Chains A and B, each alone.
Chain A
Amino acid sequence: MDQARNFTKGFIRENPVFALMLGLCPALGTTTSAYNGMGMGLATLFVVIMSNIVVSLIKNFVPNKVRIPSYIVIIASFVTIVDLGMAGYMPALHEQLGLFIPLIVVNCFVLGRAEAFASKNTLGSSIVDGAGMGLGFTLALTLLGAAREILGSYALFGYQFIREDGMLVFILAPGAFIALGYLIALTNKLNK
């Protein structure tokens, strides 16, 4: 497969959130601001690249019947590494994302890449795929976070441009669904 296409497919065409509808739980939960969304996206990016590398390396060593438990253990290990590393070196961000970091383990999009791509492709393509899909996920979460922050608190990346209370609903859970819905509609339009 053409590596450039492989890399860019995650941005819009096969964007994990907007097109594949995977990993919606963290996408809705953490995106109260653009910064949080980006933090969560980058954490997932790291996990998906690392797990893709390891899964593609061991794909022939792991028998078919135990592949899912194996992948889950590998993903969970990387998530714990991210969790500990973030707690140690980025305590402020860790506090914001706290609860959601361990949930990357059960983010079906990460397991999905391991199962659908890394276990069938070479190391090189798997890294490119992980990077592209991870960046797509980061992009989606940042966009969603930005949209919610702009509407909900009249701010972007913490910088407030109207000193007033925003439309609260966008900070709360229902606003997450509404914003996501419009962003999906937009990507569908772009995909046509």
Chain B
Amino acid sequence: MAKRESTFVNMVTALLVITFISSASLGFIYELTKEPIERAAVAKRNEAIGSVVPDFDNDPSGEQYIIEVPDGELVVYPARKNGELQGVAIETFTNRGFSGEIRLMVGILPDGTIHGIEVLEHRETPGLGDKIETGKSDFHLQFEGENPKEDFQIRIRQDGGDVDAITATTISSRAYCDAVQRAWSAYMDDEPGMHDLPSRDEAIKNVLPGYSNNPAREEYQVVYKGRVYKLYPGRRGRRITGTAVESVTESGYEGPIALLVGFNTYGIITGVEVLEHQETPGYGDLIENTRSDFYKQFVGMNPAETDIRVREDGGAIDGISGATETSRAYCEAVRDAYEVLKN
């Protein structure tokens, strides 16, 4: 076949045919490799999770949730064994690396102890900064088993911390500490029970309408269905303005949930506060007043007229999505509180 002339039609057809065949074959290859690429990414992540938390038997990737931090978000993978939280692996990052972003997987035990750290991604200088990688130096060992709550400062010594920086790699070491610190603080702030649930006095103030006495001091107890409930009456002068009932339910997803429910004298709910819970971060912990508007559904409600159950059970309350069990337990505690008050 002789070489084709460079006429307009010939050039256009040649380019058309070539680009068409190229894009078709690329589409085919993309479909073909899509799954292995995803599998490789998941395998890598699972491997990193496995190496930073103790033994687990659940699928941490399936239970992942996100903690928002000021300049991005951290992904948390909870590791459980027989349903009990063994620790979490947190995918964290820093932008302070010598050559850009560094991504780490940090394993933290429920008590705040750092269990293990793996480097997921970095572009630090080969031979220098890349010593932050687990296989290339013992740098990461300094963190393992340390609990920043107990006098371990996640900073390099030059910055007044307890971490020996890698020689000639101060910036990478500092960035590494930054990423670990970010994961640790974010998680500890987010962990149930660790953050600022209101104290009983604050909760009383939030749920009871205008009173002038000290309800906590006038606490009395009521036994209802074999359980002891604490009640706090609020008064203005001699007139009772409302009562706060402390109600504990055992049916929470992760354990007991303690609520303080305020009622006015007509039996209408004036406010609800969570005093204690162990619900799953990211799901169940949305019952906290600072985390969602779930509690607002109850305010102004008269339990005598409204069915305080989640919609799934035929009631009038929208459960928190992904936390039906917890929402159900919450409703139960509110109902109990009302029953106690009525009796």
Contacts and interface: CB of A to CB of B under 8 A. Distances in A.
A21 interface: no
A91 B43 CA distance: 10
B18 A81 contact: no
A106 interface: no
A171 interface: yes
Interface stretch (B22-30, B247-255, B317-325): B22-30
Contacts, number: 87
Interface string A89-132: 10100010000000000000000000000000000000000000
A152 B17 CA distance: 48
B36 A61 contact: no
B10 interface: yes
Contacts of A89: 33, 36, 40
A143 B121 CA distance: 27
Interface in A33-81: 58-66, 69-70, 73-74, 76-77, 80-81
A25 interface: no
Q: Is the interface of B mostly helix, strand, loop or mixed?
A: helix
Q: Is the interface of A mostly helix, strand, loop or mixed?
A: helix
A77 B3 contact: no
A91 B127 contact: no
Given A63-B6, A65-B6, A153-B127, A81 B11 contact: no
B15 interface: yes
B194 interface: no
B82 interface: no
B223 interface: no
A64 B14 CA distance: 11
B6 A64 contact: yes
A89 B43 CA distance: 12
Contact of B4 (A60, A74, A95, A153): A60
B22 A73 contact: yes
Contacts of A73: 15, 18-19, 22
A15 interface: no
B26 A63 contact: no
Interface string B217-258: 000000000000000000000000000000000000000000
Nearest to B29: A81
Given A64-B3, A65-B6, A70 B14 contact: yes
A66 to B, nearest CB: 5
A181 interface: no
Interface string B25-53: 11001100101110111011000000000
B170 to A, nearest CB: 15
A63 B195 CA distance: 71
Nearest to B10: A63
Please name the 9 residue pairs, one residue from A and one from B, whose CB atoms are nearest each other, closest first.
Answer: A88-B36, A171-B127, A91-B40, A88-B33, A63-B6, A65-B6, A77-B22, A84-B33, A88-B37
